[in-house]
Structure 1
Amino acid sequence: MKLGLQLGYWGAGPIDNAPELIAAAEESGFDAVFTAESWGSDAFTPLAWWGSATSRVRLGTAVAQIAARPPTSVAMHALTVDHLSGGRHILGLGVSGPQVVEGWYGQPFAKPLARTREYVQVIRDVLAREGKVVNDGPHYRLPYPADAPGSTGLGKSLKPITHPLRSDIPIWLGAEGPKNIALTGEIADGWLAIYYTPRLADHYEECLAEGMARPGARRTRDEFEVAATVQVEITDDVPAAIARYKPSTALYVGGMGAEELNFHAEVYRRMGYGDAVDEIGAHFRAGRKEAAVAAVPDEMVRETMIVGTAEEVRAEIGRWESAGVSMLMVTARSVDLVRELGALVYSDPDR
């Protein structure tokens, strides 16, 4: 088991103690540090800024949103960060959802799986630097067709000026639905899992195996990384810890997506919490946020987090590892917790 520090995206401002958290993570044996983006701070700038003070940890995006940049642009970001970090970059990508893609980026959301496949292929073509990058679409035409609306007809195929440090920068995909997880198993180097539960490990492994069985699949299961974002708390007061995470669960289930399409809510439906999801969503959409939080069952929170005494947390980490998770991406926000988790995982003689 590896540990990653998930810094996520900013709220109203930067994470005040991010440099201290990152330093503690590197000192404590963490494997990687990740940043994210939603519709505020971007993922790459904080990663490069804060990552410049590191020398060992891998630096990843979890996730950078596909709609935010053309694939050639994100390839430029990736090869730049990889050079500056000495080959420590992980490019984590995700499709986000229609509210953000169409409402914030002004891009169509239709056919997200096909878009992801094409997007990743263009990035790999840029990083391979074997020739001029050409893509026939239909989503990312390179060069822009001469007969397309607004075209000057002067577009030309190019290959990157800068030679990538690595042609095989690992690409991990954030995926929640079965088809997207299968696609991840086929074309990616790792899966960024959110709201993971070991209880459904067999289902997840079946989805990954489906993708890895397809012709031309990139990795075998032994070569593939599964990184699960998880809240970890070492405490004797489990009910209080669960209560602290109910507001964020209610937000993502009830407010981070439309009533017609909310990928986070669908994850919990597949986990068997359909009635709770309906109640949380109804309260949230009606503006009854306190009622939405109160409608979140304890177990709905607990099974996607690791909480308890040090011994209980150690045992749970072993259970997640046995389920197929190779990295826990923890959302720790205190230096003490970062160090405690590092000592807990990396000092275990059986690990």
Structure 2
Amino acid sequence: MRLGFSIGTLGPVASGPDEQLKLVGEAERLGYESVWASEGYGADPATTLAWLAAGTERVELGSGIIQISGRTAVATAMAAATIDRLSGGRFRLGLGTSGPQVTEGWHGRRYERPLAHLRDYVQVVRTALAREPVRHTGPTLELPLPDSRGKALSMAIGPVRQPLPIHLAAMGPKAIALAGEIADGWLPIHFPPEHVAESLGHLRTGAALAGRDPAGIAVSPMVMAMVDDDADYARDVVRPMLALYLGGMGSREVNFYNRLAHRLGFAAAAARVQDAYLDGGMGEAMEELPDDVVDALALCGTPGRVRERLEAYREAGATTLIVGLNAPTLDDRLEQLGWLAELNS
């Protein structure tokens, strides 16, 4: 199992481009397989990754993930091909549906038939990246429009790699099966190793539908990570991000991360965290987030415990474990990169 590093939704804009490049350069030096930029309502991941491509030589670069509601499928294909060319063939395209909060509240688009939309979207992206005329008729996308005065076009450039790897973020059984059917990789987030192992059955089901070998599908869980001799301190470092996801990443009615916690057996705690976040704020939500939930959803604790959890992810079938860091300073984050690499060796 290799390690990846997620720079989050703010990336170089939050910590400064020089600091972020130091982190990514250190990850590359330490042998991290990949660096990922995510998307919320902050920094643009495509721009960030294009910039990181210029400052690195070997590390793979991934979008983890680009929200399909934020840009058309062909716009995503153009960005993917561009980054792959700028990086010399090191780009991986991670896609996801996001949820109603961002789709409707930020992008102003209805969150309807997300899995059908994701399937259509991936098909159009693959056609465009192959530089074939983009013709598609699906339940959520049609190109060209039936009453259009335009004709089907082919993209003027292509990626270095053909086919360019596409990874899908997926949390529920149907979404995981879809990843197994149409994607080159699966990106679960906040999945304990035990749940990764259980969910691989859904991935295999999707792969079987398409006549694919599931062994060829990358499994890359994303987790918040913090190693420290003081286990309580390690939990406190990752607790704010987990409280945000469980409490604020969605409405009271639809929060996929909160639903995941319910499925994992933490229904009561997840409900308390969400109520505290929506009725009070981050501080109140953190107070309601118990240690056992933090221990399950994050890679945190003493070096011995983190080593054990890394081994558990390896045994569960993870091919790459993507770690996000919330340590307070640049030096702390650099230290964490080294510590995690050592524990995974």
Residues 124 and 167 in structure 1, CA contact (< 8 A), matched pair in contact too: no
Paired residues for 1:153-172 under 5 Å: 153-172=148-167
- Residue by residue over 1:300-331, the C-alpha shift from the partner in whole angstroms, topping out at 9 and shown as x without a partner, is 01112223343432232111100111111111
Counterparts in 2 of 1:37 and 1:202: CA distance versus 1, 3 Å: closer
Gap runs ≥5 in structure 1: 147-152
1:194 aligned counterpart, secondary structure: coil
CA-CA distance at 1:283 after TM superposition: 1.7
State the TM-score, normalizing by the size of structure 1. 0.91
> Within the alignment, does 1:284 sit opposite 2:283 as a pair?
no
Residues 168 and 186 in structure 2, CA contact (< 8 A), matched pair in contact too: yes
CA-CA distance at 1:11 after TM superposition: 7.8
Residues 232 and 301 in structure 2, CA contact (< 8 A), matched pair in contact too: no
- Taking the aligned partners of 1:288 and 1:185, their CA distance within structure 2 comes to 37
Of 3-12 and 36-45, more deviation after overlay is shown by 3-12
2:198 aligned counterpart, secondary structure: helix
Residues 226 and 238 in structure 2, CA contact (< 8 A), matched pair in contact too: no
Name the counterpart of 1:220. 213
> Within the alignment, does 1:6 sit opposite 2:6 as a pair?
yes
CA-CA distance at 1:53 after TM superposition: 1.0
- Taking the aligned partners of 2:10 and 2:90, their CA distance within structure 1 comes to 23
- Taking the aligned partners of 2:238 and 2:304, their CA distance within structure 1 comes to 21
Of 173-182 and 112-121, more deviation after overlay is shown by 173-182
CA-CA distance at 1:289 after TM superposition: 3.8
Name the % identity. Answer: 38
CA-CA distance at 1:335 after TM superposition: 1.5
Residues 194 and 228 in structure 1, CA contact (< 8 A), matched pair in contact too: yes
1:200 to 180, 190, 195: 195
1:80 to 74, 79, 82: 82
- Residue by residue over 1:66-124, the C-alpha shift from the partner in whole angstroms, topping out at 9 and shown as x without a partner, is 01111111011111111111111000011111121112111121100000001001111
Structure showing the higher helix proportion among its residues? 2
State the TM-score, normalizing by the size of structure 2. 0.93
- Residue by residue over 1:160-191, the C-alpha shift from the partner in whole angstroms, topping out at 9 and shown as x without a partner, is 11133222111001111111111111111111
- Residue by residue over 1:43-75, the C-alpha shift from the partner in whole angstroms, topping out at 9 and shown as x without a partner, is 100111022111101010000110111111101
Residues 242 and 302 in structure 1, CA contact (< 8 A), matched pair in contact too: yes
Name the counterpart of 2:315. 322
Residues 127 and 166 in structure 1, CA contact (< 8 A), matched pair in contact too: no
> Within the alignment, does 1:176 sit opposite 2:177 as a pair?
no
Name the counterpart of 1:149. none
Name the counterpart of 2:206. 211
CA-CA distance at 1:288 after TM superposition: 4.8
1:67 aligned counterpart, secondary structure: coil
1:189 to 184, 190, 194: 184
- Taking the aligned partners of 2:310 and 2:71, their CA distance within structure 1 comes to 36
- Taking the aligned partners of 1:288 and 1:60, their CA distance within structure 2 comes to 32
Aligned length: 337
- Taking the aligned partners of 2:125 and 2:12, their CA distance within structure 1 comes to 32
Residues 28 and 343 in structure 1, CA contact (< 8 A), matched pair in contact too: no
> Within the alignment, does 1:63 sit opposite 2:49 as a pair?
no
Name the counterpart of 1:141. 142
> Within the alignment, does 1:99 sit opposite 2:101 as a pair?
yes
Of 279-288 and 110-119, more deviation after overlay is shown by 279-288
Gap runs ≥5 in structure 2: 328-332
Name the counterpart of 1:236. 229
Name the counterpart of 2:330. none
